[in-house]
Amino acid sequence: MRFIRGHSLLEAIDDLHEAVRTGSLDEASRSLQFRRLLRSIVVACQAIDYAHSRGVIHRDVKPHNIVLGRHGETIVVDWGLAKAIGADEPRGGSAAESRLHIAAGQSSDLTLEGSLIGTPAYMSPEQAAGHTDLVGPPSDIYSLGCTLYHLLAGRPAFRGESVTDVLQNVLAGRYAPVRSVRPQVSRGLEAIAAKAMATAPRDRYPTAAALADDIEHWLADQPFAAYRESGLEKVFRWVRRHRSWAVAGFSAVAATALIALFAINIVDGQRRVAHRLAAEKTALADAERHARELAETGTRRARAAELAATSRAVRHTRPELSVLLAVESIQATTRHGLPIEPAAEESLREALMEIGGIPFHQPERVLALSGGGRWLIGPT
């Protein structure tokens, strides 16, 4: 028998998770050690697949029975419960071989013999049910999935107060998802373990080699069968695998964005200048129009005052002309919507009194003046 110097996968898993708990290893070292242990499970899967190809099933795969050598080798040991595929279990024998007796307080990590073959925390549901005729390669694949779960979560998938509790959990497929125990675990690795640990044998990986392939694809950052990536995860994976292209593309996009932003700022600045100039032009035009209106208003009021003064000047000598000039003085402002000048209104009253007419108290309503200047036409 070959003498192996090294330690079990179980010890390596415990050491890794203890380092994670205490922070004694930096993140890069933890990641390197974790990937090494994953590769050890890949080698164990390949060894079990080889045994299956030779018609042998192990029936007790667990971290305790995977030994890591001092020089990087991985060896699956303890083939004491192995049997040829399709071979019948021996009949007769001692009571321990025909019936399983579970002692109180017995550990679920210990190998059981009898009707139940294997270790409760790592055995398949068909083993836990005692259906030895159904135990085959899928049973070893299930145990490999339990071993992967232990690496990911830092503890066995199935636990309980007693071996009986553990077996009931195995039969019911009742265990905590990996990410509920350790949220930082990859969703892909969680999916690989879950597929290998499917309760129904038909739902597991078809071979141990297929399980190894999925783990290797995850290690190589490639898509694999057990997990369907989201669109965002595909993008992140592409970026990881094409880092130089991604950096170049990001730089190009960033440069384009900066140029576009610079151009937008220029255009926006020009637009703001154009708006300011247009506003200033409008304000200037409004000011000019207002000044022109003020000037025109002043001119009209001055004209009205001039006519009113002339009307007063000729009131005694030419009263009819005085009336005409007074009316023109009123209309000089009212026809443009301006109020009547008080002097114009007063000159009209005085002119009317001079010719003996009736005082007219609504000069803004004068419509016309008779040809001789003796009659004003207004509303009735």
CB neighbour class for 297 (10 Å; exposed up to 12, middle 13-18, buried from 19): middle
Other beta carbons less than 10 A from residue 103's beta carbon: 8
Q: How far apart are CA 149 and CA 122, in angstroms?
A: 10
Q: Which of 64, 82, 66, 73 is nearest to 120 (CA)?
A: 64
Rounded distance, CA 255 to CA 266, Å? 16
Catalytic residues: 60
SS3 assignment for the chain? CCCCCEEEHHHHHHHHHHHHHHCCCCHHHHHHHHHHHHHHHHHHHHHHHHHHHCCEECCCCCHHHEEEECCCCEEECCCCCCEECCCCCCCCCCHHHHCCCCCCCCCCCCCECCCCCECCCCCCHHHHCCCHHHCCHHHHHHHHHHHHHHHHHCCCCCCCCCHHHHHHHHHHCCCCCHHHHCCCCCHHHHHHHHHHCCCCHHHCCCCHHHHHHHHHHHHCCCCECCECCCHHHHHHHHHHHCHHHHHHHHHHHHHHHHHHHHHHHHHHHHHHHHHHHHHHHHHHHHHHHHHHHHHHHHHHHHHHHHHHHHHHHCCCCCHHHHHHHHHHHHHHHHCCCCCCCHHHHHHHHHHHHHCCCCCCCCHHHCCEECCCCCCEECCC
Residue 75: phi, psi to the nearest 5?
Answer: -135, 130
